[in-house]
Structure 1
Amino acid sequence: MVKYRTLDTPAGPFTVVVSNTHAVRAAGFTDDVGELLTLVHPGLRDDAEPADDVGPAAGAVRSYFDGDRAALDAVVVEQHSAGEFMRHAWQVMREIKPGFPVTYTEFARLSGRPAAIRAAAAACARNPVALFTPCHRVLRTDGSLGGYRWGLPVKRLLLDHEQAAG
């Protein structure tokens, strides 16, 4: 059984799904926990129940939106993928600093496969742990936003928030 909680944020409802050890398995700007559970690797998927206590994740989200851009860094995430590159890319993504977005090309290079720009973009698109694994910090080569599962207005708000908090 996993637990979830939906928080009100400046970007809209944000739901976080955690394991019994409070590792974040899914997170996104939605109040539809079912939608989030479809993003979780089948080996980690479980029934979810609402809970007030989702460990440090809820406090970290609040602190982030209050201006502590590093608040999310210490929260443990549990992401699994069938591919080694995607697992590694998600780890690298967590190292992209707030206020310093990178392009998909740079993200591919940081992930150790400079020619794998499409694979880097796929890692962003398949990221089940929004905000904690900050795929919103990856932009197109021309600096435009590209895509974001939770909508470009949310991506813009997050990037602006991180820039302003710096």
Structure 2
Amino acid sequence: MTRMTTADFTTVDTPIGPFTAIADADGAVLASGWTADAEGLRLLIHTGLRPVAVRERDSLGAVSEAVIAYHAGDLTAIDAIPVRQRSGEFLTHAWEVLRKIPAGEPVTYTEYAALSGRPAATRAAANACARNAAALFVPCHRVLRIGGALGGFRWGLEAKRWLLDHEA
């Protein structure tokens, strides 16, 4: 895919703060998270996919609708939204695995590593979560430390706790 010069973004109010998503021309989410900082999000996108600029829209159609529906209680609303991220083979696969972890059924980093095909690679699995640019649509918040501790989350542990409680 050729890198685009401009991608669209929108920010939606949610119970845990503003949520911004950046999508490419075909509607695939390139980056998203609980922030109003679209430029900061743009910088999370892999350089091979990163648009040169972003422009604000009132809505991103299905993407915006899914964000609103998810926060209102439709936990599967995010599942059909396409996501486009790029990295090495393991990270790309690990992000696909994250999308298959059901809401309300969090796993540990160790379990996530095993689901990703590398049971000894717990740190690599944690790295996949840390490098995920498309929060919510690639639900890295569903991965916990052994014993149920939250671990890290780019958007803050209060947001991660809210998401897990919302999905429980």
TM range (shorter): over 0.9
Give 1:142 shift: 1.6
Q: Percent identity?
A: 56
Name 2:26's counterpart in structure 1: 21
Matches within 5 A, 1:1-166: 1-46=6-51, 47-81=53-87, 83-163=88-168
Letter of the structure 1 residue corresponding to residue 58 of structure 2: D
* 2: CA distance, partners of 1:55 / 1:3: 11
Q: Provide the secondary structure at the position in 1 that maps to 2:148.
A: coil
Unaligned runs of 5+ in 2: 1-5
Shift of 1:54: 1.2
Using the size of structure 1 for normalisation, the TM-score is 0.96
How many residue pairs are counted as aligned between the two chains?
A: 162
Q: Which amino acid aligns with 1:110?
A: L
Q: How far off its partner does 1:105 sit?
A: 0.2
**One-letter code aligned to 1:120:** A
- Relative to the length of structure 2, the TM-score reads 0.95
- What is the CA distance between 1:141 and its match in structure 2? 1.0
Name the aligned partner's letter for residue 85 of structure 2.
Answer: Q
Question: Which string of whole-angstrom CA distances, capped at 9 and with x for unpartnered residues, describes residues 55-78 of structure 1?
Answer: 311000111111111000000000
The residue that corresponds to 2:3 in the other structure is none
Runs ≥4 in structure 1, deviation > 2 angstroms? none
**Which amino acid in 1 is paired with 2:92?**
R
Amino acid at match of 1:127: N
Deviation at 1:53, TM superposition (A): 3.4
CA RMSD of aligned residues (A): 0.6
Q: CA deviation at 1:38?
A: 1.1
* Superposition deviation, residue 159 in structure 1: 0.4
Q: Which amino acid aligns with 1:70?
A: T
AA matched with 1:117: T
Distance 1:38 1:107 in 2: 26
